[in-house]
Amino acid sequence: MLSKDQNEFITQTGPGTPMGELFRRYWVPALLAEELPENDCPPVRVKLLSERLVAIRDTQGKTGLIDEFCPHRGASLWFGRVEECGVRCPYHGWKFGVDGQCTDVPSEPEESGFRAKIKLKNYPLVLRGGVYWTYMGPQQDQPPLPEWEFAMVPEGHAFISKRLQECNYLQAMEGGIDSSHVSFLHSGDLNRDPLFKGAAGNEHQLDYKVFFEVVDHANGLYIGARRNAAHDKYYWRITPWVMPSFTMVAPRGDHPVHGHFWIPNDDENCTAWSYDYKPERKLYPAEIAAMKDGKGVHAKTIPGTYRPVANKDNDYLMDRDAQRAGLTYSGIEGIAIQDGSLQESMGPVVDRTKENLTTCDNGIIMARLKLIRAAKALRDKGTLPPGRLPEAQHVRSAAILLDPKTNFAQDAETHFKARTLEPHSSV
């Protein structure tokens, strides 16, 4: 468990907090490409790391994130008029470009130079792999653009979605690196969900006596979950966690690889980014249709928003009859919502002083320690955190059968290396 001070340290990500400064040293996903579909489209509200921003795509196709609020009287620029190469506050007509620079103050004479003195806080916004990424830290610490494999594969090979999760990023992320819950919470879905069913490894997930081996590496962890398999073999599922909040789940059979980012909106809400991809082929139309329908790690969302249709206000559409009948273990439909419902049930920020951890939680314990140590090293010594450079992002998960005498980290190392390294869909 963590102390109260440690729990606050690791869960608070607003401006000036140690963990907030750590997140600000990475490129993080901010919007889907569909949210800024064309030049001069409406501004989009974005809340990241407790900062309220608006995303803009101007007449020339340039994009940026700027402070949501006009520096004159504080009106939201989401209400702004999109005009030639900028957005104009409808209250008094102040106009701003994608870089936050004020370009017009109608009430002031041009010769006064007043507008040149006004500039909003602003962050870059770069499209890669169907996602707009932003970097919110000091310019001198900006790393190269991200090279996660799902963002580098050719067009049509990947599907990315996002959903609001109404809890702190950490308890959501901890669920993502916890493989032991699959044998319970998701057990009714593995052979029903079209993105999982038919895989030989599904039968091994019913082994509740999971043995965990966690291997530390420079940029995060390899979290191995071992279950018994036939013919005196072990079935290993290895999840890479890369700092600060990237996880990847091993594929099942020929189904796509999938995984998540959990990016803080504020200290009580985060965005769960979910991706599926196949490096060697395009996704099949049926796979994409299933993802859009909320299957696999994705969720149906309320049209016009990214809040799930099944949410805490409707008890996640819990079906007790389906639970009793064994149609779903939890009575809740969909793997993403099954996870989200329990993670949100803990409250906005779980009290980790009350928890009782076991050996299957070693990955969670080690991830917390790495985050805390990296945030302290950045705060106290200016040491930049790991996981920021492209080579750290060239990872894959693995699901393999091994002889009991074989160490998974040594035998499976070749499975961990991504090989699709050239960007195919960036601007």
Cα 89 to Cα 51, 77, 78, 96: the distances in Å are 19, 6, 9, 8
Hey, how many other C-beta atoms are within 10 angstroms of the C-beta on 366? 18
Give the pLDDT band (50/70/90) at residue 237. Answer: confident
The upper half-sphere exposure of residue 260, i.e. CA atoms within 13 Å in the direction of its Cβ, equals 28
Does the pLDDT at position 6 exceed 70?
Answer: yes
* Higher-pLDDT residue of 119, 232: 119
Q: What is the C-alpha to C-alpha distance for residues 210 and 251, in angstroms, rounded to an integer?
A: 19
pLDDT digits (tens, 9 = 90+) for 408-424: 766 545 566 665 544 43
Place of tokens 């999840």: 239
What pLDDT sits at residue 228? Answer: 83
pLDDT of 212: 82
Confirm if 67 and 45 have CB atoms less than 8 A apart: no
Q: Does pTM top 0.75 for this prediction?
A: yes
The region of weakest confidence among 71-80, 257-266, 358-367, 416-425 is 416-425
In the sheet with 44-48, reading across from the earlier edge strand, the strands are 27-32, 131-135, 122-128, 63-67, 51-57, 44-48
Listing DSSP states for 367-394 in one string gives HHHHHHHHHHHHHHH-PPPSS-SHHHH-
pLDDT digits (tens, 9 = 90+) for 30-70: 999 999 999 999 999 999 999 999 999 999 999 999 999 99
Q: What's the chain's Rg over C-alpha atoms?
A: 22
Per the model's pLDDT, the better-predicted residue between 397 and 125 turns out to be 125
**Using one digit for the tens of pLDDT, what is the confidence trace for 310-350?**
999 999 999 999 999 888 888 899 999 999 999 999 999 99
Q: What is the average pLDDT score of the chain?
A: 90
DSSP string, 200-244: GGGGGGG----EEEEEEETTEEEEEEEEEETTTEEEEEEEEEETT
Q: Mean per-residue pLDDT for 8-23? A: 98
Strand (E) or helix (H) holding 320: helix 320-325
User: How far apart, in whole angstroms, are the C-alpha atoms of residue 82 and residue 104?
Assistant: 13
In the chain, % of residues over pLDDT 90: 73
- Average pLDDT (73-92) is 97
